[in-house]
Amino acid sequence: MTADQPGQTAPDTLSREEAATEIASLRVEVDRHDRLYHAEAAPEISDSAYDALFRRLQALEAAHPSLATPDSPTQRVGADPLESLPNVEHVVPMLSLDSAHEIDAVRRFDERMRKALEDDEIRYVLEPKLDGASLELVYVDGVLGRAVTRGNGRVGEGVTENVRTIPSVPLRLREDTLPAPALLSVRGEAIMYLGDFENLNQRRIEAGEPPYQNPRNATSGALRQLDSRVTAQRPLTVLAYDVMAVEGADFATDSEGLAALKAWGLRTPDRIEVVGSVEAIEEYHRGFDADRESLDYEIDGVVVKLDALEPRERMGSTSHHPRWAIAYKFEPRKEVTRIDRIFVSVGRTGVLTPVALLRPVEVGGVTVSRASLHNREELERKDVREGDQVRVQRAGDVIPQVVERIEEGGRERGDPFVMPDACPSCGTEPIEKGPFTVCPNHFACRAQLRGRITHFGSRNALDIEGLGSETAALLVDEGLVEELADIFDLTEEDLVPLEGFAEVSARNLVAAIGERRTVELARLLVGLGIPEVGVTVAADLAAHFRSVDAIREAAPEEMEEIHGVGTKMSAAVRGFLDEPRVSEALDRLMAKGIEPTSPSVREGKPDGAEGESMGPESDWVGKRVVLTGALETFSRSELKDTLQRLGARVTGSVSSRTDYVVVGANPGSKLARARELDVAVLDEDELRERLGADAATR
């Protein structure tokens, strides 16, 4: 136990009530010093005085475990390690940004905005585009409830324990100037300041550990630790820049949202500006670009976002990006080096990619020693050869590229590089597909096989439990599987000696594979990894042709009878199936006794667009409804479901086509807009009356 300071009562002799009072005041004090130290760089007490406060709080919580809460500053030191990071769905999808590399693209963006808004008083919020790892933080009633990495945009990894250790992330929102909302989902970027990054690497080198390549890798590595005590040792900072969802507060502009984030104690990016013209955007971009090398954090452009929120909702998003924002990128950094050698690498789908091995050169803080030359045509177009001097660039995430050859008068050049006439992995003669050179030995070429097996067993395909990428790699590396069909011959005895396997797991995997001999045709088609055939097309092909043989015999025109299948797709499918090696591999696979089942009735499209049963009596069919403000007697998500079930469309923004705006407490700009447009406004009671028995009350 921690030694008590003179004059302090031993924690375990305090009553629960006394402990609660002291804990509450210590938390306020520790939080305040945390903020002064980390957010304001203006500490008021010495480190040892801070440590004493912190330890006292820890001791009190340890002696009175029922008083420990997740928002206590003591929770920042990390918790017990997890076995794996859970998958967590975002409150709203985390989209990415469309990018512009030239001012003309920004100009076109601005024109689109002005046209859509018919408003010459346009305002844009400008921010640095931070090069870190993007995160969602969710606060419920002001308390940090969870933190989730971006992942695929819809689902990310739950990293709550880790994020709790980051000093710039408030565990509880400040409320001294603004009350905390009932729900806040905020997006931000976890970054590592360059000085912190260098210190971290220095420590790693001293400890005999490999240094990180760049702050972004170090950041995402730190965020995804299973042991949050490790994360607590890493110098992370989170800067918040986007209110993704809020209930119980309403903003008319992004700048208001950013001000609120600040008021709630979150840290926001530096140098945020609000401007009204492309010229001002250009100037901001130029200014940041010029200062880029002297900043103490990495950025790769500036973000331009429409300030007004109501038009944002009206403009909406594509499936990938919002239409109301754009990332105006900086020119990628380029450096000059020499190509030592060119070799060919074989990817998961069989594409042979020429790769240049370079004299190592530092490009924007990262040492680059190889760069993709993409494909045969690119290689010819750039005419780069072994020994040539070249300019290379690295743009954000993108793999380094050879931009161009630098002419050197008087130097004798090597021979042009020619693509090999045998796959470097399996020796099969490659075929040319447009600019690409492809190894057609799709199911047996070792370079492709691991990926093929993993894909075959993946969730949308045969969904074979226990057949993940690590196992697939083992099976291939140990020579147990030489082509895809071999997985059906695996025995328990084959698997038991493998690392990570015991009798039970071996038996389970063999059984799981065996069971999938009976499998829905659509899943089998997905699993084969036919080019262009994803889940939707596979379902369509299965419903139309109903057997593997029928598909293998189908003429392209027949495939094109399916809605959504065009000539490009049918040619890709046909080309794949006609490849003799593919065809032989399929024969061998089917000979393992696979029995695909096909659906008896043609199923509707998954989005249910054809209409569900919604009862003809519902008045709500086709009505457009907007919910705004903090609903007190309804759960927002259940209400949304109810309305949708009744046939209404719940939309995000008020327009003249909106039928009803449902208002809760503090409604803000949407209510104003509804009044302006003379749209019917319902409060919660009026809504309940109209809903009758269907109301989804909290």
Closest separation between CB of residue 127 and ligand IVH, Å? 4
260 contacts: CB under 8 Å, gap ≥ 6: 178, 243, 249, 251
Nearer to ligand IVH by C-beta: 258 or 521? 258
> Does 127 interact with ligand IVH (rule: CB under 6 A)?
yes
Exposed, middle or buried by CB within 10 Å (0-12, 13-18, 19+), for 7? exposed
Strands (E), 35-182: 87-89, 99-100, 124-130, 133-140, 143-149, 155-157
Closest separation between CB of residue 301 and ligand IVH, Å? 8
Nearer to ligand IVH by C-beta: 134 or 401? 134
Closest separation between CB of residue 334 and ligand IVH, Å? 22
Nearer to ligand IVH by C-beta: 288 or 488? 288
End-to-end CA distance of the chain: 45
Nearer to ligand IVH by C-beta: 8 or 99? 99
- Give how many residues touch ligand IVH by CB under 6 A: 15
Nearest-angstrom CA–CA distance, 503 and 255 = 60
Instruction: List, in sequence order, every residue forming a beta bridge with 397; answer none if it has no partner.
Output: none
Nearer to ligand IVH by C-beta: 43 or 365? 365
Question: Do the bridges between strand 273-275 and strand 99-100 make them parallel or antiparallel, or are there none, so unpaired?
Answer: unpaired
Candidate list 115, 129, 262, 329, residue with the active-site label: 129
Nearer to ligand IVH by C-beta: 61 or 189? 189
Extract the tokens encoding 254: 């992004």
Extract the tokens encoding 99: 């990018």
Instruction: List, in sequence order, every residue forming a beta bridge with 682; answer none if it has no partner.
Output: 662
Question: Do the bridges between strand 237-247 and strand 183-191 make them parallel or antiparallel, or are there none, so unpaired?
Answer: antiparallel
Q: Which of 322, 364, 400, 629 binds ligand IVH (CB under 6 A)?
A: 322
Closest separation between CB of residue 326 and ligand IVH, Å? 10
Extract the tokens encoding 301: 């452009």
Instruction: Kindly identify the residues of this chain, within the stretch 129-168, that bind ligand IVH according to CB under 6 A.
Output: 129-130, 134
10: left (phi over 0), alpha (psi -120 to 50) or beta: beta
Nearest-angstrom CA–CA distance, 437 and 427 = 14
Closest separation between CB of residue 687 and ligand IVH, Å? 30
Nearer to ligand IVH by C-beta: 328 or 456? 328
List, in sequence order, the alpha helices (H) in 516-633.
521-527, 535-545, 548-553, 556-560, 567-578, 580-590
> Does 265 interact with ligand IVH (rule: CB under 6 A)?
no
Nearer to ligand IVH by C-beta: 260 or 661? 260
Instruction: Kindly identify the residues of this chain, within the stretch 228-257, that bind ligand IVH according to CB under 6 A.
Output: 241-242
Report how far Cα 45 is from the mean position of its chain's Cα atoms.
40
Closest separation between CB of residue 680 and ligand IVH, Å? 31
> Does 95 interact with ligand IVH (rule: CB under 6 A)?
yes
> Does 304 interact with ligand IVH (rule: CB under 6 A)?
no
Closest separation between CB of residue 397 and ligand IVH, Å? 10
Q: SS3 letters for 246-315?
A: EECCCCCEHHHHHHHHHHCCCCCCCCCEEECCHHHHHHHHHHHHHHHHHCCCCEEEEEEEECEHHHHHHH
Q: Which of 88, 306, 327, 379 binds ligand IVH (CB under 6 A)?
A: 327
Per-residue contact flags (x/-) with ligand IVH for residues 40 to 79, judged by CB under 6 A: ----------------------------------------
> Does 559 interact with ligand IVH (rule: CB under 6 A)?
no
Instruction: Kindly identify the residues of this chain, within the stretch 266-285, that bind ligand IVH according to CB under 6 A.
Output: 269
* Active-site residue flag, 115: no
Exposure of 613 in the CB half-sphere (CA atoms within 13 A): 0
Stretch of 126-134, 161-169, 245-253, 523-531 contacting ligand IVH, by CB under 6 A: 126-134
Question: Annotated catalytic sites, by residue?
Answer: 129
Contact footprint for ligand IVH (CB under 6 A): 95-97, 127, 129-130, 134, 189, 241-242, 269, 303, 322, 325, 327
